[in-house]
Chain A
Amino acid sequence: MSSLTGTGIAKHFGGIKALDGVDIVITEGEILGLVGPNGSGKSTLINVLSGYYRADAGRTVFDGDDLLRLGPHEIAAAGLARTFQIPRPFRTMTARENVALSYMFGQRRHSLAQARQAADQWLEFTDLANVGELPIDQLTLHQLKFLELARALATEPKLLLLDEVLAGLNPTEVEESIGMIQRIHAQGVTLVIVEHLVRVVTALSTSLIVLNQGRVIAHGDPEVVMQEPEVVRAYLGSRWEHA
């Protein structure tokens, strides 16, 4: 039983093939880790699946709909949500209003009055209750990352794509967030997590996809996949480059 099946997804920017024929299967109920060196196309894949970018080629079936034909708001209504690697809050709204907005739209429509009430639950879940009324520019990076998460959760997604929510957090915060991600999963949300901390991804995910230069080079059990020679090579190469 699969939740999302993508075949031959391609996206290029000028001469750069950010995604070069990606096949991906996301099984309902799993936590799928998505890893790969910098610039391997992880964010681009999330951007294409969520409709933020229009794919050049390919097909993505999610619960019977071809996502690549839908607009971003229709994809949200179908139950897919994502976070941005670099937080993009609505700057004239408070944290609570950001969350309320996404609850009003998201997968199902709710009125403004309902949303103002309901926003609290996601602020509490993400530990933002005490900054709910603050203007956005008074939030720390950590809080902004969690606001991304709260806003995505407030759309009540079936499938949630998390783009490096843990990057830039200190070890304690990382531990807290791992617990949070597990609780989201326990509520029945299928998750895709993009993360550079290989230790964290392997610990969290039930299966793993490795991207390199816009192609899937491995897919399967996390422990096994990370041992594959091609994966080791891709990772060592990038480590060396960025050392």
Chain B
Amino acid sequence: MTSRTKSLIGFGVVAVVLNLVPTVVESLDAPSFYVTFMFTAFFWISQSVSWNILTGYTGYFSFGQGAWFGIGVYTTGILAAKHGWPFLLALPVAGVLAGLGGLLLGMIVFRLRKQSGEIFALTTLAVAFVLASVARLYSFIDGGRGIFMTGTPLPAFLGDFRTAMFRMTFVVAFLTLLTAFLLYESRIGWGMFAIRDDEPVAHGLGVPVFRYKMLALGTNAFFGGLMGGVWSLQIGFVTVEDVFNIRVPLFVILMSVLGGLRHWMGPAFGAVIIYALTDRLNSAGLEDLNQVIIGGLLIILVLAVREGIYLRLRARWKPALAVFVLAIGVWTVFDLGSSLIWDFFYASLLTVAVALVPLKRQPDTAASPASEAMAASDRSPP
């Protein structure tokens, strides 16, 4: 059995297990914020993993995540809340419109004679600003009045609001991860990595660079928009200020860099850690310290673990797993945390610490299991 088949089976198992979570939580009479915690994590996983398909795979640094997210939010907002479309019909339109937005941007910037990473990054930043003013200006979009999403009817089979959010965010995050994985393990994905390493050389060896960059940008925008489409429900009252701000692009970058851009899983990992951290800090009433702590942690981690913590932990997965299981065990048995989320949080922090322990010796032959991590670490993030 190839490793790809194994991974695909893994995807299937995870899908089935996670799908049961809301039902289990309900039947255990556990606090429903577990479900909220998880679906918010799914949101961030999907946003960062899709961002990484563009920036991690092809090396084109994007500040545009907020734009794709915003197109998605406003599409379901306008279609479902203002025009009464069935939500599940409006949702795919959100993804498609954002994807088309990405392709349109690509048609412009990837066709320029003089191309550069800087021009691309600045253009993506500008897109969100432009969209924000357009939304503010035209009343068929927003016109400065905002859109109420509360009361948008959802099909009964999705369950109550939380369960429905869980199911929808889960499906989108799952599809994003699956796409990222399939690309990572394919000819197209490798063509993208070659573009990241040296675009002109890749082009000369036969990689259709324009097509692949369009594909990466389109995929990124599509999933960003699709998840944005779901998220309008969670926002409740959609305003331009809440949607087109720097929060989404910034967090997506932080999460991905922390988790690592060199592997499809890296950003998902970073997303869970940073989201858990902000969530716990908020619930401990430390909102004000939030940014300081996250910023500080990020600086330390990025300096200490350049390839991102995912590859680092993978290279030493045995000690990492042991620490995690042990920590969860100790915390639950001695009842140290006030809830399972806190237990999970402390265990994760300790596990991340495993990534920080420096290697005793740089192995000089690549036959070591750390070779992938090393290969990934010899270049700074794009």
Please report A residues at the B interface, Cβ cutoff 8 Å: 50-52, 71-73, 75-77, 81-82, 84, 88, 90-94, 97, 100-102, 104-107, 109-113, 115, 133-138, 151, 155
25 contacts between A and B (CB under 8 A): A50-B204, A71-B208, A72-B200, A72-B204, A73-B204, A73-B206, A76-B205, A76-B206, A81-B205, A82-B204, A90-B193, A90-B197, A91-B198, A91-B378, A92-B375, A97-B190, A101-B193, A104-B191, A105-B187, A105-B202, A106-B205, A106-B206, A111-B186, A111-B187, A137-B378
B374 on the interface (CB 8 Å rule)?
A: yes
Q: How far is the CA of A64 from the CA of B193 in the complex (A)?
A: 32
Contact count A vs B, C-beta below 8 Å: 102
Bound-complex Cα distance A91 to B376 (A):
9
Binary contact track B1-43/A, C-beta < 8 Å → 1, others 0: 0100000000000000000000000000000000000000000
> Cβ of B262 < 8 Å from any Cβ of A?
yes
Q: B residues within 8 A CB of A75?
A: 204
| CB nearest neighbor in B for A132 | B366
Q: Contact check, A105 vs B375: say whether CB atoms are below 8 A apart.
A: no
Given the known inter-chain contacts A92-B193, A92-B379, A101-B194, please indicate yes or no for A133 contacting B205, CB distance below 8 A.
no
The residue on B at minimum CB distance from A94 is B375
Does B185 count as interface, using CB distance less than 8 angstroms? yes
> Cβ of B82 < 8 Å from any Cβ of A?
no
Give Cα A64 to B124, complex, Å.
Answer: 41
Q: Mark B357-376, 1 if CB is under 8 A from A, else 0.
A: 00000000111000100111
Residues of the A chain whose Cβ atoms lie less than 8 Å from the Cβ of B375: 92-94, 135
Q: A73-B206, A92-B379, A134-B365 are in contact. List 16 more A-B contacts (CB 8 A).
A: A52-B204, A71-B203, A72-B200, A72-B204, A81-B205, A82-B204, A90-B194, A91-B197, A93-B197, A97-B190, A105-B205, A106-B205, A112-B187, A113-B2, A135-B378, A155-B206
CB of A133 within 8 A of CB of B367, answer yes
**B209 CB within 8 Å of chain A:** yes
Contact between chains at A151 and B187 (CB < 8 Å): no
Residue numbers in A under 8 Å from B200 (CB-CB): 52, 72
Are B204 and A76 closer than 8 Å at their CB atoms?
Answer: yes
Which residue on chain A has the smallest CB distance to residue B210? A71
Complex Cα–Cα for A134 and B372 (A): 10
What separation, in Å, do the CA atoms of A14 and B304 have in the docked complex?
Answer: 45
Inter-chain contact A134/B204, CB cutoff 8 Å = no
